Chain A
Amino acid sequence: MNEVIKTQNLSIGYNGKPLMADINVSLNAGDIVALAGPNGAGKTTLFKTLTASIKPVSGEVSLMGRNLSDYSATERASMFSLVLTDKPDDMFLKVFDIVAAGRYPYMGLLARLKDKDREIVMQSLDTVGITELAERNFISLSDGEKQKVMIAKALAQDTPIIFMDEPAAFLDYPSKIELIHLMKRLSREQGKTILFSSHDLELLLRYSDQMWLVAPKKSLKVGSPKELVDNGIIDKYFPPISAKELFSPIL
């Protein structure tokens, strides 16, 4: 089966009020898909719906051919992992402990790490290249390093799908490039399916296999970056800023 996630006539929003309707998209195994659009277009809402954090207003989401709402919380935990913009802020949380939390869905009540779990945690740290940070306190890390820790946690969770909400938002340029290379590597070498959201046009165009475009009051459009540029759709969703606008003084 190639489609890991598929939506049918999905309508999303809060308290029964649809924010975006008629969403019919699918996510193919091993792809890197970008959910793109300006802030406030509903990217986070779609994210939360696809990760079962909120319920669809109508329509359905199927995960590996089964309705998402039929999965238990523990089952979901082994299907997809999250990398979010909000990060843990506890003063003594160690990098190792955060990554080890990725193993929690597979552990019993007392959360005892077995040798195999420990190995997976160290492997995950190694994959993102931060083995030497294992014993550091999380809050003392840079934004780029924190991002890597959360990705390592997602890897330790050992899920076929990884959702990343605005993964590039707080990163400087070199860290962004590094992040993209890491994402490519995960998809090519480990067959991970990655859905990430962003409003960074350059990042989106250069590095995604497929884009889901959203904008306020517009329907969701799907295509490869090249298709979307060629048929001019991207300009409608990301209206270019005129030089005049950029130049005008801010009052």
Chain B
Amino acid sequence: MSILILGLFLFVLNLIIGSVSISWNDFSKAVFEAEDSTFRSIIIDYRLPQAITALLAGIGLSVSGLLMQTLFRNPLADPSILGISSGASLGVALVVLLGGSALAGLSWWSTMGISMAAFIGAFLVLLLILSLSSRLNSMVSLILVGIMIAYIAGSVTDVLKFMGQKDDVHAFVVWGLGSFSSIGKAQLPFLGIVVAVGVVAAFLLSKTLNLLLLGQRYAENLGLNIRRSSMFVILVSGLLTAVVTAFCGPIAFLGLAVPHIARFLFKTSDHRLLLPATALIGMDLALFCNLIARLPGFDGNLPINSVTALIGAPVVLAVIFKSQKTIK
């Protein structure tokens, strides 16, 4: 509950604090009395979509990370482990580095094109992984296949980067740093719907996830079809990663760290509790990171990727050390 309230508080702060400082009075006038002002347009057209994007991305990536960690029973698994975000990067590299100068003039097309390219790249890798997963017997093989796909996509991306124009490479690198602000109001509903569907689907997989924690053979004995269930888990996690990466770039760390924070705070591995907890903590952390990234004085937005780990890692460390005493 307190996590939800904290989330709400952070959300409002996200609307108020920024490089243009808005007083509480101006804020309430702009929002509640619908007074037409620059403040209103800053809040509604700029900060609101950004805050909503941060919130959705935080939820999506954290839930996606939790699914991967449970499926592979590996605390180091994260949304990028199956190569899905590398697929997104490759898609973007192809568009930006090969077609960059052609797209440069059309700014709407270029943001939309980049999102499309990222989504298609991620989705193709997801399909590849799904089709391969039906042929693989062990989770270890699957994780290795994912990592190999990530390496291949990474190398091709590197080659493209090496051959690209200087400006295009810069644009690509900036995309790779992650951002919650490159998404327009028009695309927001799409991100919202996919994340919502993904999170509900993940919640419906709670029983499956709880069984997977016991290990494959126990899960199988308790009536679980391992192959079909892992495909569902990969599909849901992959879709969440694909859509968030498409709109925000490859955002690291949240997906890895948030499930751990949720586990240590709630001391549970029952996904019926862990999953909502992870989603809400992911939301809070993403909103907080977004706030830090555009604190006044930073002159515009810091790249999200440089903030997530900087803020998130100490949080994870603190939570782990605090609970060392209480475990057992």
A77 shortest CB reach to chain B, Å: 4
Q: Using a Cβ–Cβ cut-off of 8 Å, how many residues does chain A contribute to the interface with B?
A: 33
Partner of B206, one of A77, A87, A110: A110
CA distance A192 to B209 in the complex (A): 29
Partner of A140, one of B214, B217, B269, B327: B327
A125 within 8 A of B: no
Return chain A residues, CB-CB under 8 Å to B269. 90-94, 97
Contact A111 B210 (CB under 8 A): yes
CA distance A76 to B223 in the complex (A): 7
Partner of B327, one of A76, A105, A111, A137: A137
Interface bits B248-263 vs A (CB < 8 Å: 1, else 0): 0000000000000001
CA distance A107 to B269 in the complex (A): 19
Interface bits B206-248 vs A (CB < 8 Å: 1, else 0): 1100110111011011111100000000000000000000000
Most chain B CB inside 10 Å of its own CB: which residue of A91, A94, A153: A91
CA distance A87 to B267 in the complex (A): 19
Q: Using a Cβ–Cβ cut-off of 8 Å, how many residues does chain B contribute to the interface with A?
A: 25
A51 within 8 A of B: yes
Which candidate, A55-63, A78-86, A169-177, is the interface stretch facing chain B?
A78-86
Interface bits B301-328 vs A (CB < 8 Å: 1, else 0): 0000000000000000000000000011
Residue of B nearest to A84 (CB): B217
A162 shortest CB reach to chain B, Å: 11
B294 within 8 A of A: no
CA distance A82 to B263 in the complex (A): 28
Contact B272 A110 (CB under 8 A): yes
CA distance A104 to B327 in the complex (A): 27
Residue of A nearest to B267 (CB): A92
Residue of B nearest to A106 (CB): B223
Contact A90 B218 (CB under 8 A): no
Contact B223 A77 (CB under 8 A): yes
A163 shortest CB reach to chain B, Å: 9
A74 within 8 A of B: yes
CA distance A127 to B148 in the complex (A): 49
A92 shortest CB reach to chain B, Å: 4
CB under 8 Å from chain A, chain B span 153-169: none
Known pairs A88-B215, A90-B269, A92-B267; A137 contacts B221 (CB<8 A): no
Partner of A90, one of B73, B206, B207: B73
Known pairs A92-B263, A92-B268; A77 contacts B222 (CB<8 A): yes
Contact B207 A107 (CB under 8 A): yes
Which A residues are closer than 8 A to B by beta carbons?
A: 51, 53, 73-74, 76-77, 80-82, 84, 86-94, 97-98, 101-102, 104-105, 107, 109-111, 137, 140, 153, 157
- A-B contacts besides A88-B215, A94-B269, 18 pairs, CB < 8 Å: A73-B224, A76-B221, A77-B223, A81-B221, A82-B218, A84-B218, A86-B215, A92-B268, A93-B214, A94-B270, A104-B207, A105-B222, A109-B204, A110-B204, A110-B206, A111-B206, A137-B328, A140-B328
